[in-house]
Structure 1
Amino acid sequence: MDEQIMRGRVYGADHDDPDPGPRPGHDYAELVGGPLDGLLLDVTGWTVGERAEGALLMTEIGRYGPGGRAQYKPRPGNPSRFDWHGDSP
């Protein structure tokens, strides 16, 4: 795994977690762009099909505020990066 990815904060980690970074033995995709830019998404155990679909992630800091979601899809040719594709309510 890319050394830069190993230093990021994991999506969904508690804000008061003293070690919000990646865990050994887990697979991560870096979220690129949008409200969750730079966070890591734990994709451990995801099937190839699930990874290809991407993720619709809850976020309070997107266009729709609390309860909104940000859509991320894997980057063609680089599935360890999920690019932002917009927000939804």
Structure 2
Amino acid sequence: MDWHAYVELVGGPPDGQLLDVTGWTSEESAVGALLATDAGLFGPGGRSDYIPEPGGNGWYIWNGDTS
């Protein structure tokens, strides 16, 4: 059986969506994710920065947008 690991995105443009982190190393998971989004502060081509919620509860918290 194939399994997948997900974290929930909290805040920012993709609030509530799940991010597939299957295969990520613990180091990659500890950094978070910089996700491309058209709905952020910088519009098309912008990115939303997400960092892990302290305590390892499976949430990545929005840390702002960047170009």
TM-score (ref. length: structure 2): 0.94
* Identity across the alignment (%): 58
1:5 aligns to what? Answer: none
Query: What 5-or-longer segments of structure 2 have no aligned partner?
Result: none
1:10 aligns to what? Answer: none
Identify the match of residue 49 of structure 1 among 17, 23, 27.
27
Query: CA 1:52–1:79 in 2, change beyond 3 Å: closer, same or farther?
Result: farther
Large movers: runs of 4+ above 3 Å: none
1:38 aligns to what? Answer: 16
- Distance in 2 of aligned mates of 1:59 and 1:29: 17
- Distance in 2 of aligned mates of 1:79 and 1:54: 13
TM-score (ref. length: structure 1): 0.71
Q: How many residues align?
A: 66
Q: RMSD between aligned alpha carbons?
A: 1.0
Query: What 5-or-longer segments of structure 1 have no aligned partner?
Result: 1-23
- Distance in 2 of aligned mates of 1:56 and 1:79: 19
